[in-house]
Structure formats: C-alpha cells, structure tokens
C-alpha cells in the first residue's frame, strides 16, 4: 500500500492505493481525461518512489507520502 500527494494548480489531493493495479487504473483515467498521448506507463516509477521524492506526470506532481507493507496499519489496524 502506498499513499501519494498529487498536486496540480496548487491543490493537493492525498490518495492511497492498496495494489499497483489500482494506481495503474487511476493513471489511465487521468491520461484519458487529459486527452494527451503518453509514450510510457509511469506506474512502476511511481510505485517504487522513495518517501519524499516526486515525479511529474501530465502536469501533476506526484510525491510519495508513505509506504506500508501491511495496508491494515494505515487504516488503524493492529
């Protein structure tokens, strides 16, 4: 599970993704919304970012806010 800060136009959204496929689907939707051609799939690059690092994609700045091996921890589990 990862937690991302997604910034565009000085607005920040915090999104969590349990599986890499969830992130890939989210990025695909953003690509369709932008109506721009993208030559590569940044899913692996984003999924493997270190905490505090970022990547630019379609005018968004996507930065890694946190990683958890056990998704249950981020939901307040034991």
Mean pLDDT of 16-42: 93
pLDDT score, position 68 = 84
Residue 76: pLDDT band with limits 50, 70, 90: low
Contacts of 75 (CB under 8 A, 6+ apart): none
What is the arithmetic mean of pLDDT over 3-11? 96
| pLDDT grade for 40, boundaries at 50, 70 and 90 | confident
| Integer CA distances (angstroms), 31 to 25, 40, 41, 52, 78, in order | 10, 11, 10, 24, 37
Per-residue model confidence (pLDDT) at position 78 = 45
CB 16 within 8 A of CB 74: yes
Residue 74, pLDDT above cutoff 60: no
């Amino acid at each position: 599970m990862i937690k991302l800060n997604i910034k565009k136009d000085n607005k920040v959204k915090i999104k969590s993704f349990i599986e890499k496929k969830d992130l890939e689907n989210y990025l695909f939707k953003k690509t369709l919304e932008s109506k721009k051609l993208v030559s590569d799939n940044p899913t692996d690059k984003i999924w493997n970012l270190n905490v505090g690092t970022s990547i630019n994609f379609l005018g968004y700045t996507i930065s890694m806010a946190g990683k958890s091996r056990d998704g249950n921890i981020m939901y307040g589990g034991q």
